[in-house]
Amino acid sequence: MFFQIVSIVFPIFGVIVVGYLYGRRRRPDMIATNQVNMDIFVPALIFSALVGRSFEFAEVRMIAIGGALIVLGSGLLGWPVARLAGCSPKTLLPPMMFKNAGNMGLPLLLLAFGDKVLPAAVILFLIESVMHFSIGTYWLGHNVNIWRLFRDPVFAAGTAGVLVSMSGVALWPPFMSAMKIIGDVSTGLMLFSLGVRLNTAPFAEWRIGAVGAIATPVTGMLVAWVFCVASGLSSAEKDVLLLFGALPPAVLNFMFAERYGQEPQKVASIVIMGNLAALVAISAALAIRLSS
């Protein structure tokens, strides 16, 4: 089991390490690269994944419900943790709720369980993104721009992919091949970019960072486990949700904290330390599922 877990986790963190080492030596400015990735490559990946399969919402309905409950449940469980840690709930709870479903979640679920879980992984990514841009934005800044959400390339690609798949329309195969080639760029680039960002991690706020690094996967997996037991899900659905619950905080949490002036240095420490500690949390989640 140990070697099976290592074989799943190593490629993810191997790419992150390469990004970290390159970033430490060259200090590249990844802003433009990340923008292109989120505007072009990730939407192409999501669109081609959804269009290339027969997509029925009924097939991923429980995954969608479970994902939403993991996000909300992590926030509820995190509230007393924030009080005990002596920090603002607006600082700790968003990183606990909104996970790294893009940079790490998509490639990790694909490597762990294969292409068959891609629709479920994409649905979780979309749900987490919608909740982050709506609930998260309103909570931090009391300002929700629904039109901006619909214009977001990732959300638009996911919506278009679902609609085309449900319509049964077959798109021109060369066009789909081009979408797949473009989309395949996104996975490695997301992980590489995360590694580069680790070089800018502020470790001064190590205490709150450690609290967030521990609380994020613990609360996420706990909510996922309770939902899986209560709902009688299939083994494959349990695999996806438990691993989703173990994911570390999304980098986007730091960007939102910086935008709204919500202790961005502390949030950055939570995000960075959470992603560093993800190797243990993800390995634990995989061990639980592989041993069951």
Domain ranges of the chain: 2-291
For residues 40 and 61, give the distance between their C-alpha atoms in angstroms, rounded to a whole number.
27
What are the φ and ψ backbone dihedral angles of 99, each rounded to 5 degrees?
A: -95, 170
Closest CA to 154 of 179, 125, 134, 118: 125
On whether the CB atoms of residues 92 and 82 are closer than 8 A, the answer is yes
Q: Which pLDDT value is given to residue 223? A: 97
Degrees, nearest 5: CA angle 108-110-116: 150
Identify each DSSP E strand in 157-244 by its residue range: none
Q: Is 99 helix (H, G, I), strand (E, B) or coil?
A: strand
Enumerate residues 6+ apart whose C-beta is below 8 A from 199.
20, 23, 24, 27
Structure tokens at 123: 């649905």
Whole-Å CA distances, 158 to 50, 111, 126, 152, 162: 7, 21, 7, 10, 6
Structure tokens at 110: 């694909």
Closest CA to 278 of 191, 176, 161: 191
2-291 under CATH 1.20.1530.20, yes or no: yes
On whether the CB atoms of residues 70 and 127 are closer than 8 A, the answer is no
Closest CA to 96 of 232, 222, 258, 220: 220
Q: What does each of the 292 residues of the chain score in pLDDT, given as a tens digit? A: 567 667 777 888 889 899 999 999 999 988 888 889 888 998 898 888 778 666 566 778 899 999 999 999 999 999 999 999 999 999 999 999 999 887 788 888 888 888 788 888 888 988 888 888 778 878 887 665 667 667 778 778 888 887 888 787 889 999 999 999 999 898 888 888 888 878 876 666 788 999 999 999 999 999 999 999 999 898 889 999 999 999 999 877 887 887 788 888 788 889 888 888 888 899 888 888 777 6
Q: Which pLDDT value is given to residue 101? A: 86
